[in-house]
Chains A and B, each alone.
Chain A
Amino acid sequence: MNDQDTKRRRTDRPEKKTGRAKRADALKAPKKLKLLFTVVDRKKAELYADLIGAYGVNLQIVLPGEGTAKTETLRLLGLDDTARAVIVSVIRDDLAPAIFEMLEEKFRTVRGGKGIAWSVPMTSAVGVAIYQFLSDYRDDPAKANERGNRR
């Protein structure tokens, strides 16, 4: 056995990883984040915020907004109920399809719950703790399973 063989064997052997190294590995390929905008009737804002929140979304901001009335006639007649809420949520990219599917279904089925939702990709976030908070990254697999069952 020559020196090269010994070297190769040494490098082939998997390194034993400490808990900290494992955590660092998990953070090597972070999940991308998106900003989800959901515009719904103001009365339904809480419902939709809760529905989105069930997907491990830790930061949501509900802003009161107004829809733009379709016609001047409707506005003059007072038939334009324009009170809307804009829900801004930070969601994980891999959960986006499930969230959009849920929203599409709810927009169709909830009475008076019609709305519109779109997402904008986020390109950066500063700070590991902030990222972990926004992406709902947790070490404890039991908690992750619990969240999975809730969904």
Chain B
Amino acid sequence: MTFSHECIVCIVNTGFSDAVMDAAREFGARGGTVIHGRGTASQEAERFFGISIQPDKELVLILVPRDLTDPILYALYRAVGLKTPGQGIAFSLPVDQVVGLSTLSLGENGEPKSGDVAP
């Protein structure tokens, strides 16, 4: 089953949500919502790999049209991926219905009832 929109979730170290949005905007995302959280990581794994995980996290939710998902995820991987200071992970969830996007109303399966497509 395919839908017209997807929700990108990007979890990064605190302070990197702007970098996430900058990378996402470059590929057509319009806006996002940031939630603060606390990450939990295996301390044993941290010791084994010789890295430290900052526990304070920011979780960025971005709703995007499906065709923008791949380029945005790749941009996030490059800008705030695990090998960057942002130490981010990003994934997308299928969105089967959506309302409230600017100037358009969407029906079943997120298909626009009329007009443009703009998240």
Contact = CB atoms under 8 A, between A and B. Distances in A.
Contacts of A65: 33-36, 61
Interface string A116-128: 1111110000000
Contacts of A117: 98-100
A104 interface: yes
Interface in B87-119: 93-101, 105, 108, 110
B27 to A, nearest CB: 15
B96 A121 contact: yes
A117 B21 CA distance: 19
B63 interface: yes
A107 to B, nearest CB: 5
B39 to A, nearest CB: 15
B32 A64 contact: no
Question: How extensive is the interface on chain B, given as a class?
Answer: 20 to 34
Contacts of A120: 7, 93-96
Given A65-B34, A84-B33, A86-B35, A100 B97 contact: yes
Interface residues of A, number: 26
Contacts of B35: 63-65, 86
B98 A118 contact: yes
B31 A119 contact: no
A118 B31 contact: no
A114 interface: yes
Interface in B14-46: 17-18, 21, 31-36
A41 B76 CA distance: 27
B5 interface: yes
A70 B32 CA distance: 10
A92 interface: no
B99 A103 contact: yes
Given A34-B96, A67-B34, A116-B63, 10 more contacts: A65-B61, A66-B34, A67-B33, A68-B21, A100-B99, A116-B100, A117-B100, A118-B7, A120-B93, A121-B94
